[in-house]
Amino acid sequence: MKQRIAIGCDHGGFNLKNKIIEHLEKKGVEVEDFGTYSQESCDYPVIAKKVAGEIAQKRFELGILVCGSGLGMCIAANKVKGVRAVTCFDATTARLSKSHNNANVLCLGERITGEYLALDIVDAWLKSEFEGGRHQKRVDMFETP
């Protein structure tokens, strides 16, 4: 089955988002862009909630969000039940976020992470799989008070 990714950004992540889309499409990944579609200032929580909502509704298995730092998008996405968003700054944390924490939204910062590193992070995250086992119990705790 072809992998499908929901992606979004604010004005601070616009250029990197487009590079990620191009990179993923070259690899045969289907990407749906939830905006923003220009560098005009916009509110990142709106975009984060759109993408996170798609994940929560199971219309997409995975999402990627890009803003200036990756932090605001991550905070906003994690407000949506069922979303496990992470901000990663290297391939190792990207792999671990998926294999140990079953992260379903990756957040990146265009002003923090260069293009080539960001693409490595995306690739590492997408290639990783949740290990389950001893990690499942802890992941289950995310959803309970």
Sequence ranges of the domains in the chain: 4-142
pLDDT at 126: 97
When the pLDDT of each residue in the chain is averaged and rounded to a whole number, the result is 95
Paired residues of 6 in beta bridges:
32, 63
pLDDT in tens, 42-71: 999 999 999 999 999 999 999 999 999 999
Q: Could you say which of 23, 42, 100, 135 is catalytic?
A: 100
Q: Is-catalytic flag, 100? A: yes
Q: Is-catalytic flag, 67? A: yes
One-letter identity of residue 109: G
Question: Distance between CA 17 and CA 110 in Å, rounded?
Answer: 8
Q: Which of 106-110, 121-125, 137-141 has the lowest mean pLDDT?
A: 137-141
| pTM reported for the whole predicted model | 0.96
| Position 32 pLDDT exceeds 70 | yes
pLDDT at 1: 57
Q: Could you say which of 9, 67, 74, 107 is catalytic?
A: 67
Report the CATH architecture of 4-142.
Answer: 3-Layer(aba) Sandwich (3.40)
Q: What Å distances lie between residue 72 and 24, 28, 30, 78, 101, CA to CA?
A: 23, 29, 25, 10, 20
| Position 2 pLDDT exceeds 80 | no
Over pLDDT 70: what percentage of the chain?
Answer: 98
| Position 145 pLDDT exceeds 80 | no
pLDDT-derived band at 144, boundaries 50, 70, 90? low
